[in-house]
Chains A and B, each alone.
Chain A
Amino acid sequence: MELSRLPGFLFRRGVKAALVILAIVVCNFFLIHAAPGDPASVIAGQSGAADERFLAQLRQQFGLDQPLYVQLWIYLKGVLTLDLGFSHRQQQPVWTLIAERLPATLLLTGAAFAFALAAGITLGTMAARRVGTWADSLITTLALTFYATPLFWVGLMLVLLFSVWLEWLPSFGMMSVGVEMHGIAVVLDVASHLILPALTLGLFYLAVYARLTRATMLEVADQDFVKTARAKGVPEGQVVRRHVLRNALLPVITFAGIQAGQLIGGSILVETVFAWPGIGRLAFDALLARDYAVLLGVFFCTSVMVVLLNLATDLLYAVVDPRVEVEG
C-alpha cells in the first residue's frame, strides 16, 4: 500500500473497531439485565435484611429505578472510564481483579501462540515438501488428532503423563509455593510451570496452522513463478524458502492473528485445568460463585483484546503486502 493512504485506512479500521466495542458494551448491558436477580436483590440477600423499603433504597442508589436508556448511558460512561462494575462477592472493583490477573494470561497465551505458530509452520512446510510420503501422512494424522481432542482433556493427559507418572513437571500453579527464590531461579520456576499449559493450549492451534501452511504452500507451489524459478535452476531448498514459503506465510499469519482471539477463550479451560492464576481462572471462579459482574468484565476485556489483535493484524497485513486493497 502507498504510505500516503495509510492514515485513512487506519482511521476507517479504528472507527470500525470502536463500533464493535460499543456493540459489545451494549450487548453486555442487556445480558446483565437478563441475569437472574438484579444487583440490589443480590446485595440485600447477602446482608440478610431484604424488606421492600431497603430494596427500593438500594435500587435508587444504583440507579436501577431509572428508565432503561438512562441506565445504558450510565453504564456506557462507566465502561469508558474502565469502571466495569463492582464484584460484591470479592468486595473489589472488577477492573482491579482483571488487571491483577491479566499478565499471567498474556504470558500463557503468548507462549502458546509462539509455540503453535513456529511448530505449525515447520510441520506444515515439512508435510508440503514431502507430499504423499509417510512423513506427510504422519503430520496430517497428528493434525487431525489434535483437531479432534478436547483441549482440557489433553491438559489432563499431559498432567497424568508428565506430573503423575514421570514426575518431571509441576501440574498446577504458576510458581512453587513456600520456596524462597531470586533472579534466574524464579524465571526457571515459572518456565517449568508454563510448559504444560502452553503446550496444551498450543497443540490445537499447531494442528490448525500446520494444515493451513500445508494447503497454502501446495497452492503457491503450483503457480508460474515457482515453475520459472525451478526452470532457472534455483536450488530446491531455496525455491521452498524464498519463493513458496514466503508467499504462503502471509495468509497463515493473517489467519493466526484473527484466531489469536480464540486462544483467549481456550485459556479459560487450560487455566482451570492447571490452576494458572490468569483471567480464565478468574472467570471459572466467578462462574462457580455466579458472580456475573466479573464474568461480564472478563467477556468485555477478552473481546477488546480480540478487536485490538484484529486491528493489528489488518495493519501488519496492509504494511507487509503491497497488493492489499484499501477499502472500508
Chain B
Amino acid sequence: MADFWRRFRRNRGAVVGLVILLLVCAVAAFASVIFPGSPWDMATAPFTPPGEDGMLLGSDSLGRDVAAGIAHGARISLMVGAVSTLASLCIGVSLGALAGYLGGWVDDAVMRFTEFFQTIPSFVFAILLVAIFTPTITSVVFAIAVVSWPPVARMVRAEFLSLRSREFVQAAEVLGKSRLAIVVTDILPNALSPIVVLSSLMVASAILLESALSFLGLGDPNLMTWGFLIGSGRSVIRLAWWMSVFPGLAIFLTVLALNLVGEGLSDALNPRLARKRGGAA
C-alpha cells in the first residue's frame, strides 16, 4: 500500500487531481451546510452579477443562487457518475469474464453483442432511452450504464483470455475448484488493476454524459444538476454569462481531476508501463 502511494505521488498531476476531487466531494457532502435551503428557492433579484448582493457566483433568471445550484448539483453529478459506473462494471465484467473464460461460441456471441453496442452511436441511443423511459434519475443512470459497458467487457475478456491458461488457474482446476470460484477468487483479483484505472475514466465520462443529457432537458426535473444550470443559462448568455460559465467550470474541474487521478492510478498499478511512459514523456 505504501509502495502504491509512493508511486501515485510521483505523478504530480495525479496528486493535484486527487486534491480537486476531494474538494468537489467535500462541497457535495456539505452542500446543505454551506447553502442551507433548497437551491430552487429565490435568493435575490434575478440576474445579480457575481460578487454583488452576497451572491458569490451571481444569480439566475429567477433569482436563484448559482453557487448553491453548483454545490447541490455536485451531489447528483458524483452520484450519477459513481452509480452508473458501478452498473456498467457489473454488466461489462460479467460479460467479459463469461466470454474470456468460457471461450468458444459463448465468446463469439458475447463479442457480437458487444460490437453491436459499440457500433450504434452511444449518445443518440442514451437520449432515446431516457426520452422513452421518461427522465428520472434512474433512467439516466440506466441509459449511461447501457451505453458505457462495452469497453469494460472487451478489456476484461482480454485479461481473462491471457490469465485463463496460466499455471495458477490450471492448479485451481486440478484441485477441483468450481468454475465460478476460479473466476471470482483466482482470475478476477488478478485482472483488477486495469479495471480500477478504467473505472476512474468511466466516472469522468459518465459525468460528461449526464451533463449533456440534462443540458438537453433530459435530467430529472426534480434535481438540480450542472447540465441543467448551463442549459437554462444558454438562452440568456448575452445577459448573464455567469449562469453558464461557472457550472461548466465545475464540470471541467471534476472531469479533469478524475482523468488525472486515472493516470496516476495507472502509473501506480502498472509500474512497468509507467516507467516506459516516463522515459518517453
Chain A residues in contact with chain B, CB under 8 A? 20, 23-24, 31, 34-36, 131-132, 136, 140, 144-145, 147-153, 156-157, 159-160, 164, 218, 261-262, 264-266, 268-269, 272-273, 283-284, 287-288, 290, 292, 295-296, 298-299, 302-303, 306-307, 310
Contact = CB atoms under 8 A, between A and B. Distances in A.
A148 B120 contact: no
A306 B122 CA distance: 11
A128 B90 CA distance: 37
Interface in B67-100: none
27 contacts: A20-B116, A23-B116, A31-B129, A35-B132, A131-B280, A144-B259, A149-B251, A150-B230, A150-B252, A152-B212, A156-B234, A156-B237, A156-B248, A159-B237, A160-B244, A218-B280, A261-B121, A264-B121, A265-B121, A268-B124, A268-B127, A269-B212, A283-B127, A287-B127, A287-B218, A292-B132, A303-B124
Nearest to A27: B120
Contact of B123 (A145, A164, A265): A265
A193 B115 CA distance: 37
Given A24-B120, A265-B121, A269-B212, 6 more contacts: A31-B128, A144-B259, A150-B208, A150-B212, A160-B244, A310-B119
A17 B238 CA distance: 46
A295 B116 contact: no
B121 A148 contact: no
Q: Most chain-A CB neighbours within 10 Å: which of B115, B120, B121, B280?
A: B121
B116 A287 contact: no
B32 to A, nearest CB: 26
Contact of B241 (A160, A218, A295, A303): A160
B244 to A, nearest CB: 5
Leading 4 A-B pairs by shortest Cβ distance: A265-B123, A153-B248, A148-B256, A148-B255
Interface of B: 115-116, 119-125, 127-129, 131-134, 204, 208, 211-212, 215-218, 227, 230, 233-234, 237-238, 241, 244-245, 248, 251-252, 255-256, 259-260, 280-281
A145 B215 contact: no
B127 A147 contact: no
A296 B128 CA distance: 7
Contacts of B212: 150-152, 269
B interface secondary structure, majority: helix
Contacts of B132: 31, 34-36, 292
A262 B128 CA distance: 15
Contacts of A303: 119-121, 124
A290 B116 CA distance: 26
Contacts of A148: 204, 252, 255-256, 259
B238 A262 contact: no
A90 B2 CA distance: 64
Contacts of B122: 262, 265
B134 A36 contact: yes
Contacts of B215: 150, 152, 269
A34 B248 CA distance: 34
Nearest to A301: B124
Nearest to B226: A150
A298 to B, nearest CB: 7
Contacts of B281: 131-132, 136, 140
Contacts of B131: 287, 290, 292, 295
Contacts of B237: 156, 159-160, 164
A261 B122 CA distance: 9
Contact of B121 (A149, A262, A284): A262
